[in-house]
Structure 1
Amino acid sequence: MQAILFLIVLFSGFVFIYLQQRKQNNPQYFVPLSAWGSTVLIVYLSIIELQNKSFYLGIILALLLLIYLNYKRDKTQLINGLLFNFWFGIFGIYLGFHFFQTRDLIVLGLFILLFMLVLALAIFGMISLIILLYWNSLIVLKREGRSLGNLLTLILAIALSMLLLYNAFIINKIPEYLVYLFAILPFSLGYFATVFLNFATISMIYQLNRPKLKQDFIIVLGAGLLNGEKVTPLLSRRIDTALNFYQRQKQKTGHPLKIIFSGGQGPDEKVSEAFAMKQYALEQGIPEEDLLLEDLSTSTQTNMAFSKQIIDSYNIDHVKVIFSSNNYHIFRAAIFARQNQLRADGIGAKTALYYLPNAFLREFIAIVAVHKKRHFLIIGIAGLFLLFMAVITFLIPQ
């Protein structure tokens, strides 16, 4: 009976929230639906725990609260991804233990859902991943052209193919000391795969930013121009996201908001990215007095640095700032904002699905570069250990 009541309350709430969101100009489904589902689930699990006089859910929620508070303190730490992944694992163990205690069907359903997710990742496997990467690389190269940035999924696919061939045909035919020596390659791939998982997790969580409609400035990060003078479809999505927020804040709160278009003029561009973005906004009917130009920057780092100078010139106490970019880019942009003492969260514009794998790989490489000393120190220590083992095995064969 409890399970049936839970499902009725859960789906009734889903329907109500969905209908309410549809009435809005900018409907947001994921966050309110997730919040409702989580709330109902916590209440349901709490009732079962009280009936069984246990308190394990309190420990799980306390751990999640600590991780969340650490995330709120600094959203740009990559370790937050590791902590959230650790919590997901603990929650899965809790569900399994809880089911064996209560035999509750809802708990079983959740446990099976998590298990199927892990199983799907396992079944997906190396071969399926390689096929997907080759397929994605062909689409990206066909639609976006040939460039080093667009070759990342192809390069990764080739690297994984070589590793697969090595494990299948070579590893059993070479001396043991060479196995140790070559082990640095799969170790490096495994290490960076783990770091990528943490990066992907925290990037997806960062997408859930919902800033209040009380901002003073919104920075739009520039990108390359079409024919050196017009905004590209990718850049227009960033601008549209900012303009949508601007219009909603203006309509609902009336709080004044300035839009800073940030982007300099590249060597192959006729005008600055900031100027082209401003012209696009003017065509959408945005008043010119609300548009500011930062046309000196050449990177995300300088986007934030020079935009902060403009913001500081207004001398606003407790200034509130957000920025707009494509969804795959906002986490790294937030890191640069914090490095420039600019407390600003990002709102992400949608990106074509086919482009996301390549884009996320590019962002990941840039994130690794930010902390390259730490990562390559770990790889270096592992490499020295494996080299030592190779020498020992060579000198003292078994």
Structure 2
Amino acid sequence: MFFLLGLTLITLLIFITSYLKDSRKLINGFLFNIFLFSAMITTIDIAFETQNRFLILLVIAFVIIILLVLTFGIYALILALLINAKIVLKRESRTRANSLTFFLAIGLILYLIFSTIISKKIFPNEINMFLGGSSVIVFYYLFDIFNFLMISFLYQFNRPKLNQDFIIVLGSGLIGDRVPPLLASRINKAIEFYNKQKLITNPPKIIFSGGQGPDEKISEALAMQRYAVKNGIPFEDTILEDKSINTLQNMIFSKQIINNLISQNSASIFVTNNFHLFRAGIYAKKAGLKSQGIGSKTALYFLPNAMIREYIAFVVMYKKRHAIIVSSLVIINLILSIIYHFFVISYL
């Protein structure tokens, strides 16, 4: 018991050290999950060593939940994704970007069909072995998704000090020249922080960052500035960055403005929607900004679709790592299938 307690404390300290050093690292999600797993094992051990009824009931409830998830989880997930897809497509525009929950549900259905075909063993044994190895790739991505979701959740708890020189508001699409609700929530969050800081010290300058898309009448930066001024922000406390077309450029161009106005040592934060917060933090790091982010709320029905989009963006961001790992798994599985064919089948 004491060994497991010590191990849990060590994993917690490792996570805290890494997170405090730089909260914008994907590995922090993995480290926190290691701590959670260690804490779970420790709790189970303490429950049965001390015969504490509450802990034993807690462990039993946890085991039941795990069994239910393993047995029915994928079916419940498919149903939930299809329901969510219907809601999103009803309330939002019918685009591929808004249909990700539907596509994921179809993908899971195809995976179930694929798994059923493999279980029937209608192919030669070595082919079945090779196809069955695809489950390892699925588990790899499930593991990666779990780490991604955990660090995305943890990063929501940033509480920047009220001593900022700049607030960078990241743009998103306009409807003509109008600020839609998703973008309005970001501006409102920046206004909230601005007003809180104004009560105790000098208010920050707000940099509105976003260029003009092909279907937009004006730049996102100008539309955001107009919205903020209309909602009480003094015009002289606003700055336009209207050249960027993606998040990385938002950060790079905003940093150039900050450096030109003050210095590299100025304090700044950025504002975006909560689902986009962690990825934006990584881009801020790439741009050389020390800025941490604060997230505005997103409608609950839109979150699953948004998080899927975020994870896809992360896979693209780290495509070399994923390509190396997946290729390695495929090669290892192919080698094992060949070994099975020549050494087992031939022997028989």
Letter in 2 for 1:76: R
- Aligned match for 1:190, one of 111, 120, 139: 139
- Alignment-derived partner of residue 91 in structure 1: 39
Tell me how far apart the structure 1 counterparts of residues 207 and 62 of structure 2 sit (CA, whole Å). Answer: 43
Letter in 2 for 1:268: D
Q: Number of aligned pairs?
A: 344
1:223 aligns with 2:172: yes
- Alignment-derived partner of residue 261 in structure 2: 314
Cα offset, 1:69, TM superposition: 1.1
Q: Is the 8 A contact 1:321 1:344 kept in 2?
A: yes
Q: Is the 8 A contact 2:207 2:240 kept in 1?
A: yes
1:38-89 alpha-carbon deviations (Å, 9 max, x no partner)? xxxxxxxxxxx9xxxx686455334312211101212222111111111101
Cα offset, 1:183, TM superposition: 3.3
Q: Is the 8 A contact 2:225 2:238 kept in 1?
A: yes
Tell me how far apart the structure 1 counterparts of residues 180 and 63 of structure 2 sit (CA, whole Å). Answer: 42
Q: Is the 8 A contact 2:81 2:104 kept in 1?
A: yes
1:324 aligns with 2:271: yes
1:253-277 alpha-carbon deviations (Å, 9 max, x no partner)? 2233111100000111110000000
1:331/1:167 CA distance change after superposition, 3 Å: same
Tell me how far apart the structure 2 counterparts of residues 78 and 317 of structure 1 sit (CA, whole Å). Answer: 25
- Alignment-derived partner of residue 235 in structure 1: 183
1:255-304 alpha-carbon deviations (Å, 9 max, x no partner)? 33111100000111110000000000011011011111100000001000
Q: Is the 8 A contact 2:170 2:270 kept in 1?
A: yes
- Alignment-derived partner of residue 284 in structure 1: 231
Q: Is the 8 A contact 1:92 1:114 kept in 2?
A: no
- Aligned match for 2:106, one of 135, 158, 173: 158
Tell me, what secondary structure is at the counterpart of 1:154? Answer: helix
Aligned residue runs from structure 1 range 117-196, under 5 A: 118-119=66-67, 121-122=69-70, 124-172=72-120, 173-183=122-132, 185-196=134-145
Cα offset, 1:213, TM superposition: 1.1
TM (norm. structure 1) is 0.81
1:333 aligns with 2:276: no
TM (norm. structure 2) is 0.92
Tell me how far apart the structure 2 counterparts of residues 124 and 249 of structure 1 sit (CA, whole Å). Answer: 49
1:103 aligns with 2:51: yes
Percent of pairs with identical residues = 44
Q: Is the 8 A contact 1:183 1:386 kept in 2?
A: no
RMSD: 2.2
Stretches of structure 2 lacking an aligned partner (at least 5 in a row): none
Tell me how far apart the structure 1 counterparts of residues 60 and 159 of structure 2 sit (CA, whole Å). Answer: 31
1:131-168 alpha-carbon deviations (Å, 9 max, x no partner)? 11122122222222222212222221111111111222
Aligned residue runs from structure 1 range 10-29, under 5 A: none
Tell me how far apart the structure 1 counterparts of residues 93 and 147 of structure 2 sit (CA, whole Å). Answer: 30
Tell me how far apart the structure 1 counterparts of residues 133 and 47 of structure 2 sit (CA, whole Å). Answer: 41
Stretches of structure 1 lacking an aligned partner (at least 5 in a row): 1-48
Cα offset, 1:247, TM superposition: 0.7
